[in-house]
Chain A
């Protein structure tokens, strides 16, 4: 983190650890023809669990990519976990330690078993080989898959794979978990198991969760629901 970012963090408490402040985010593709985000403003406080819903193409995934520093908005202001993502020097380091990411599908490497899939997130951190192994066991235990550590993704159900992905996202103890339709391809039983894992996690330690979902039932489990339309947050009508 640059010293400039650090001083900003001190100035404005609400942009600190675990919090998200997005103001007027604009992101367009195809030379401005497609406006995926069109002046989006959003605040999430530390430890809060929010769900994001909205029609297909409204910019949900694009927003998640911005929050994870996988891509940068064209304009606006974006502070995540105290870091200014508009001028971040080390997005890799940011992803490695500050946020955890879960996608709808294809989170795992097919040729690695569950434990190795969790472990890859810890390579390049200060952990020793032994510590990586212990931490991976601990995480798989937490998502209820201790017995599955040597199974490869093709030998697991969709729900089990998503729980492995969550375990990996939490490997380096990020303060924010970003999940883009993590239950999108699961049956209701598997959805419940995944939601339980998140529930347990939040009881254990404060973690901010931003979850994109198409499923109203899933969205309702959040502290707060945010609805996106055409690249912005739509004001609640009720």
Chain B
């Protein structure tokens, strides 16, 4: 026999007790994992727009809640183009629209035909729209396939039936799920003549991106530049809210999980008084007893983590198919999920096991043996 064997045997021989404790851990893990995936997915969706334009950085209006509601003007675009080190700047106007149940949040991009190429848009089929065409649109290849619409077909958007003159490819799933309009008619429809949402900037070769960025930000207090997810977090208030909500819920899930574990372990202490008394009577030290209780808790943590990841995936697939979230939530399952699950499980059980372990260790052995 070894200490490790005894730890595993104790967990295994009390299947119901261990199982229920692992379940408590698993529910905490599930919550944290599911929340993490949802948050991550929402962040990716929101930040995806930035990755479309093949740019060194993006310029947005400062202090907006949602980057998609950033409002800029063509004058600001002209000014940015004049800044030293800026090779090109593309202005786009963005909006979102509900197409159908499966596509509740389609991003619409107004862009000039001449800007398509610098923006990283390649025509996969058909042709580009004309600059002033009021009823011509292009579909991202992903969206076109999803809707089953080919070049020459029609689509009802912006309250009109539009002709699909081209299908494009951006090399980015988010970009390939958008609809593009010629800028001028789109501005007219939005009643924002001269209005833009974001500027996508490329810098001159050999120029430092950071230098150009600060030059842009110095040029106007109304502008903010974004080139990473972290910048995005600073520019987008919704992103900040999502992150804060995720943190708070994670903290709650760990606290509630730990209380469940503590409860289960304190209850089991009562039926284990004699067991601990015997171990102390044969010469086990307090430290060894604490190690036993903690060791068992850690085995349960591993089981709970595995179970929790499984439950988390089930929860995600349920959320994904909720009518209100359909199409919005595009979860990606990455390896950090497992690390986070394990960390949560270990935190939950370690916090939960602390008090019971200390109680067990400070039980007097002869008291334990007296109990009938």
Contact = CB atoms under 8 A, between A and B. Distances in A.
B1 A132 contact: yes
Contacts of A111: 9-10, 13-14
Contacts of A70: 280-281, 364-366
Contact of B280 (A61, A92, A94, A123): A92
Interface in B267-318: 274-275, 278-286, 288
Nearest to A180: B369
Interface string A94-111: 111100010100111101
A5 interface: no
Contact of A103 (B1, B14, B369): B369
Contact of B1 (A101, A106, A120, A172): A120
Given A92-B285, A123-B1, A129-B2, A112 B280 contact: no
Contact of A95 (B283, B288, B364): B283
A120 B366 contact: no
A65 B278 contact: no
Chain B interface mostly? helix
A98 B174 CA distance: 74
B282 A120 contact: yes
A168 interface: yes
A221 to B, nearest CB: 25
Contacts of B336: none
Contacts of B251: none
A94 B279 CA distance: 14
B13 A95 contact: no
Interface string B1-39: 111001001100110000000000000000000000000
Contacts of A96: 282-284
A95 B283 CA distance: 5
B282 A95 contact: yes
A124 interface: yes
A129 B366 contact: no
Contacts of B366: 61, 65, 70-71
Interface residues of B, number: 24
Contacts of B285: 92-93, 124
Contacts of A71: 364, 366
B272 to A, nearest CB: 10
Interface in B228-260: none
Residue from B1, B9, B14, B279 with most neighbouring chain A CB atoms (10 Å): B1
Contacts of B278: 106-109
Contacts of A109: 275, 278
B7 to A, nearest CB: 11
Nearest to B286: A92
A114 to B, nearest CB: 12
B362 to A, nearest CB: 13
A123 B288 contact: yes
A20 interface: no
Contacts of A168: 282
A36 to B, nearest CB: 11
A101 B288 CA distance: 19
Contacts of B279: 120
A78 interface: no
Interface of A: 61, 65, 68, 70-71, 92-97, 101, 103, 106-109, 111-112, 115-116, 119-121, 123-124, 129, 132-133, 136, 168, 172
17 contacts: A70-B280, A70-B365, A92-B280, A92-B286, A95-B281, A97-B283, A107-B278, A111-B14, A115-B1, A116-B1, A120-B284, A123-B1, A124-B3, A124-B284, A124-B285, A124-B288, A129-B2
Given A106-B369, A111-B14, A132-B1, 8 more contacts: A70-B280, A70-B364, A70-B365, A92-B283, A95-B283, A103-B281, A120-B284, A124-B288
